[in-house]
Amino acid sequence: MEFPEKVTINEMVLRDGLQLEKKLLSVEEKKILFSSLQEAGVKSFELGSFVHPKLVPQMANSGELFEKIAREDMDLIGLVPNLKGAERAKEFGVDRINFVFSASDTHNMQNVQKTTAESIEELKKINEFCERNEMVLTVTIATSFGCPFEGDISKKRILATIEQLVGLTIGDITLADTTGMANPKQVYELLKEVKNSFPEQTFNLHFHNTRGMGLANILAGLQAGVTGFDTALGGLGGCPFAPGATGNVCTEDVVHMLHSMGIQTDIRLEGLLKASALLENMIGHQNSSYLLKAGPYNRKYPVPVSN
C-alpha cells in the first residue's frame, strides 16, 4: 500500500463542530479554543459560517470572531450558503470562503431551499463576486456518498456535478459524507474515478463518524491519493438539517492514526489533547475522542505487581 508522506488537516470544530451544541460559546471562548489549537500547530480552520442566525444561532458571532483573530500564516475559512453570505463574509474581511451544496436535491432543499441545479447557479454568482473581490472560493459537495432522504448517490451524478464546476475559479473541492453513509470500498473507487476524470483538480474529504467508519474511510481516501481532510476536535458536529448526522471524524484520533503510520501533519498531538480537554470544559459534556480517554498508543503504563 502506498501512502502520502504528509497530510493537511482542516479543523472544523469552530464551525461544523459547534453548530449542534446546546451551549452557545462566546467570541472570547471561541478565541481561546482557537488559540489552543493554534498552539498545537493547526493552521487551517473553517472558523464559522455566514448563515441566518435564526437558523444556526451557534454561528451568529462568526463575523466578530474573524475580526478578532490575526490571520498571518493561517487559512481561515468562512462557510457561505449563498451570495448574501459571501457578501457578509466580505464585510468582515474574510478572504477565503467555502460554498456548500448537496449532490442530493432533497437534502439541498432541506438545507438551503434550492435544488442542486439552483445552488450551482448561485455558485456561479458567488464565483463572479469572489473574482471581483480577490477572495478564494472553495466548494464542498455534501451527501456525496449517500443521502438520508434519497439513499445512494450514483458516481455518475457526482461526476456530472463536478463537471459543472469546471471553468469556475475554484480552489479545492471537498466531497462530504454528511451523515456517515460511506464505506471504504466506495470511497476508494469514487475518489480514483473522480481524480482520474479531473486530474488538474484538488479533492479533499469530509467524513462523519455516524456509523464508526470514519477512520477506515480516511484510510481508503489516503490509498486513493487524497491528502486533505476535514476533521473536528473531539469529534463534535453534525448537520442541523439531516436526521442522524452525528459528529465529524475526531481530529486527535485522525492525527494519532496518521502519526502512527509515519504520515506527517505538522500538528502536535499532546497539544490537541489539551485543546480537547479544554473543549469538554467549555461545552459541559464529554466529547467523542477515543484518544482523550485512552491516551496515545505509546504511553507507558506501570506493570501491575502481584501480591
Q: Which residues of 272-302 are buried (b: 16+ CB within 10 A; e: fewer)?
A: bbbbbebbeebbeeebbbebbeeeeeeeeee
Q: Specify the residue for cell string 451523515.
A: 179
SS3 108: helix
Choice among 130, 147, 239, 250 that is catalytic: 239
DSSP state of 304: P
Strand 8-11 with 228-231, pairing: parallel
What's the CA gap between 219 and 142, in Å, rounded? 20
What's the CA gap between 155 and 211, in Å, rounded? 22
Q: How far is CA 18 from CA 21, 30, 186, 283, in A?
A: 5, 10, 29, 9
Whether 239 is a known active-site residue: answer yes
The catalytic residues are: 239
